């Protein structure tokens, strides 16, 4: 996605060889026009998959999920990083490691919002080592649903998540694949 590449070059800030700061347009302050474009890209790629539901993890994937769900005209749900007292009944939980924050989160999803046999599209802002995406895939499968695909806005290909998810057989579509963050942003 050429527009996203230009925004990354102009507004992305390299924090280290493995961390790219995109909070001015993607995951703190949101560029709603960019969200529409992201949703359109994911819709175009996955529209033949008969998607029933869009899923992400809070919080950075929420705007992406809403933009995508709007085009599919399907429900959107997100896994919560902290299980609230109001979440009861059948709940699926798993632990994921946040690469950026270097800490584990137990994420939870009420089975009330994911149904057996559904085709679920997982979306997120970044793919690093694949921990969040793998955790979400596990939750979908525990609910008896099917992971129809995984849509990622920015993939840091050098961190292994791409290989992990492809080896598991998931249909992975990344809008931008980063080759490196050493000294400058380099794309595939």
What's residue 165's pLDDT?
A: 97
144 close to 171: Cβ distance less than 8 angstroms: no
- Kind plus residue range of the DSSP H or E element containing 173: strand 172-180
State the average pLDDT for the chain: 94
- CA angle centred on 96, ends 79 and 72, rounded to 5°: 35
Q: What is the DSSP code (8-state) at residue 112?
A: G
0.85 surpassed by pTM: yes
What's residue 132's pLDDT?
A: 93
CA distances from 59 to 7, 35, 151 (A): 21, 15, 16
- Across the range 172-185, mean pLDDT stands at 97
Task: Give the residue extent of every domain in the chain.
Answer: 2-78+113-187
CA distances from 18 to 24, 110, 125, 139, 185 (A): 18, 33, 15, 27, 11
**117-167: per-residue pLDDT in tens?**
999 999 999 999 999 999 999 999 999 999 999 999 999 999 999 999 999
What's residue 161's pLDDT?
A: 96
What's residue 141's pLDDT?
A: 96
Q: Is it the case that residue 50 has pLDDT exceeding 90?
A: yes
- CA angle centred on 92, ends 95 and 67, rounded to 5°: 85
Q: Is it the case that residue 65 has pLDDT exceeding 80?
A: yes
pLDDT band at residue 35 using 50, 70 and 90 as cut-offs: very high
pLDDT band at residue 59 using 50, 70 and 90 as cut-offs: confident
Return d(Cα 38, Cα 16) in angstroms, integer.
25
Q: Quick one: tokens of 25?
A: 């347009």
Q: Which CATH class is domain 2-78+113-187?
A: alpha beta
Q: Is it the case that residue 100 has pLDDT exceeding 80?
A: no
Q: Is it the case that residue 87 has pLDDT exceeding 80?
A: no
Residue 149 phi/psi, 5-degree rounding, is: 175, 170
């Amino acid at each position: 996605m050429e527009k996203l590449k230009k925004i990354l070059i102009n507004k992305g800030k390299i924090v280290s060889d493995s961390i790219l700061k995109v909070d001015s347009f993607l995951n703190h302050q949101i560029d709603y026009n960019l969200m529409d474009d992201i949703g359109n890209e994911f819709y175009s790629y996955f529209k033949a998959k008969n998607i029933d539901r869009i899923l992400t993890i809070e919080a950075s994937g929420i705007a992406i999920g809403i933009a995508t769900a709007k085009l599919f005209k399907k429900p959107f749900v997100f896994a919560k990083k902290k299980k609230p007292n109001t979440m009861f009944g059948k709940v699926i939980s798993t632990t994921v490691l946040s690469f950026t924050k270097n800490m584990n989160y137990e994420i939870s999803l009420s089975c009330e919002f994911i149904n057996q046999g559904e085709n679920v599209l997982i979306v997120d802002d970044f793919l690093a080592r694949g921990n969040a995406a793998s955790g979400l895939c596990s939750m979908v499968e525990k609910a008896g649903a099917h992971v129809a695909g995984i849509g990622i806005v920015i993939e840091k290909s050098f961190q292994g998540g791409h290989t992990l998810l492809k080896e598991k057989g998931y249909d992975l579509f990344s809008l931008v694949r980063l080759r490196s963050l050493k000294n400058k942003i380099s794309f595939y």
